[in-house]
Amino acid sequence: MGNAWSAPERTKLRKKLAEQLMDKGNPSLPWELIVEILSWLPVKSLGRFRCVSKPWNALIADPNFIKMHFDKTSENDDVFYQRRRLIFNEPGCCSLYSVNLDQLILNQNNDHGADDLIAPEAQLVCGDLPSYRVVDLFYCDGLLLCKLAEMPMTIYLVNPTTGESEELPEAPDNIQHLGFGFDHSTDDYKVVSAVFYDMLVFCVYSLKTGSWEELECSLPYSGAYTFHAVLLNGTLHWIMETPDQTSMIVAFLLEEEQAGEIPLPVEYSSDAGDCVLGAFRDCLCLTHCSDERTYNEFWVMNEYGEGQSWTKIKISIPYPELSLSGFWKENHDLLVFQKQLVMYNFKEQSFCNLSIPGFPHVDCIGTYLESLVSPNYYGITDREH
């Protein structure tokens, strides 16, 4: 017999049960069962339940519960899709917005034809950020790293669900090429800046300690084609150039805080000027951005780190500029063509345009998972008081 409850129905049932527990004030259920019920609920519901009692408030702020709550996204597909959001801004504007595309795909049998999908209304992402334009956006699990158009360069860590934010302290060297990710070996979020002097040098910011550290490891590189690192497999990736003008992917391992090299396709090893490094599902990929020509393909590295595994993937839309949003589900991949969104089906080589009401063009596109992780208090016991 199949499951009689759909994912939305199960979520509503858990919310109702939690609300009944809240109404009773001091329920007789075992504490372990209450913790389990709460761990399945959305972040905004938990925000309301903080006022039930001091034990509930302490639980929802507890790092172990926050981790348990977040781990549900990897343990259960329904929870993952309910908590995943597309994040973006409007070109030239300051504000960030989010939208739930998984619900759109779930309800794709509604009023609109195959040539046009209309996303739900975008929600303003609230964070205590100054009114400067976000020029680059990095995302890792429940947190965003926002680089603002301000001099000197200003960087904020933001939880877009709770609205919490924290400005990072000034780095020891001029921040040039940024990356952001999570080190599972230490349960720590890390921001990495790659800086060029005579050699390539790395500086790492730890959210647990709240401080920057300049690493001793350095590489003989003289410049970079990419400012925005791509996060994949616990590793940050940039396209960089050696003094003899050879192009390579530099891979910085967050766990070991060491850098290595990954080869590009042979035809780009001497000139990667119009290449855009990205992630296609769970693989590194190369698309293009050019003012002079159009393309009908892009490259995917099918086996991570293996230069011989680069493979061309055909695409039925000729493009001068293409990037991948990081959003995909089953046969759907959300692509970005010159700041416009297209939902592409690579199995059938078909596509439909995706519009977000009120936003004819979008920028700084990525995905995040709703979480309780705080950029202000993460690992606070490890910091100096």
Q: Which residues contact 211 (CB under 8 A, 6 or more apart)?
A: 169, 205
Predicted confidence band of residue 7 (pLDDT cuts 50, 70, 90): low
Q: Determine, yes or no, domain membership for 146.
A: yes
pLDDT of residue 217 exceeding 90, the answer is no
- Average pLDDT for residues 298-314, to the nearest whole number? 95
Q: Which residues contact 379 (CB under 8 A, 6 or more apart)?
A: 63, 187, 188, 207, 208, 209
Q: For residue range 325-365, what is the model confidence (pLDDT) as tens digits?
A: 999 988 889 999 988 999 999 988 889 999 999 999 998 89
**Domain total in the chain:** 1
Predicted confidence band of residue 267 (pLDDT cuts 50, 70, 90): confident
Lookup result for tokens 């504000």: 95
Q: Determine, yes or no, domain membership for 210.
A: yes
Q: How many CB atoms lie within 10 A of CB 247?
A: 20
What phi and psi, each to the nearest 5 degrees, are found at residue 351?
-155, 165
State both tokens at 258.
Answer: 């060491």
**Type of residue found at 145:** L
Q: For residue range 17-36, what is the model confidence (pLDDT) as tens digits?
A: 665 555 555 556 788 888 99
Q: Determine, yes or no, domain membership for 111.
A: yes
State residue 233's pLDDT score: 93
Better pLDDT: 110 or 309: 309
| Spatial CA neighbour of 251 closest among 197, 312, 301, 210 | 301
State residue 299's pLDDT score: 94
Q: Determine, yes or no, domain membership for 255.
A: yes
Give the structural domain span for 355: 75-369
State how far the Cα of 203 lies from the Cα of 216, in Å rounded to an integer: 9
Q: Determine, yes or no, domain membership for 155.
A: yes
- Average pLDDT for residues 41-57, to the nearest whole number? 87
Q: Determine, yes or no, domain membership for 3.
A: no
Q: How many CB atoms lie within 10 A of CB 73?
A: 20
Q: Which helix (H) or strand (E) holds 302?
A: none
Q: What percent of the chain has pLDDT over 90?
A: 45
In the sheet with 283-288, reading across from the earlier edge strand, the strands are 275-280, 283-288, 295-301, 310-319
Q: Determine, yes or no, domain membership for 30.
A: no
Judge if the upstream peptide bond of residue 152 is cis by omega within 30 degrees of 0.
yes
- Average pLDDT for residues 62-75, to the nearest whole number? 92
Write out 298-316 in H/E/C secondary structure: EEEECCCCCHHHEEEEEEE
Q: Domain of 163: which CATH number?
A: 2.120.10.80
Q: Give the pTM.
A: 0.87
In the sheet with 211-219, reading across from the earlier edge strand, the strands are 177-183, 188-196, 200-206, 211-219
Q: Determine, yes or no, domain membership for 14.
A: no
Q: For residue range 76-116, what is the model confidence (pLDDT) as tens digits?
A: 888 888 899 999 988 877 788 999 988 777 666 444 445 68
State residue 5's pLDDT score: 46
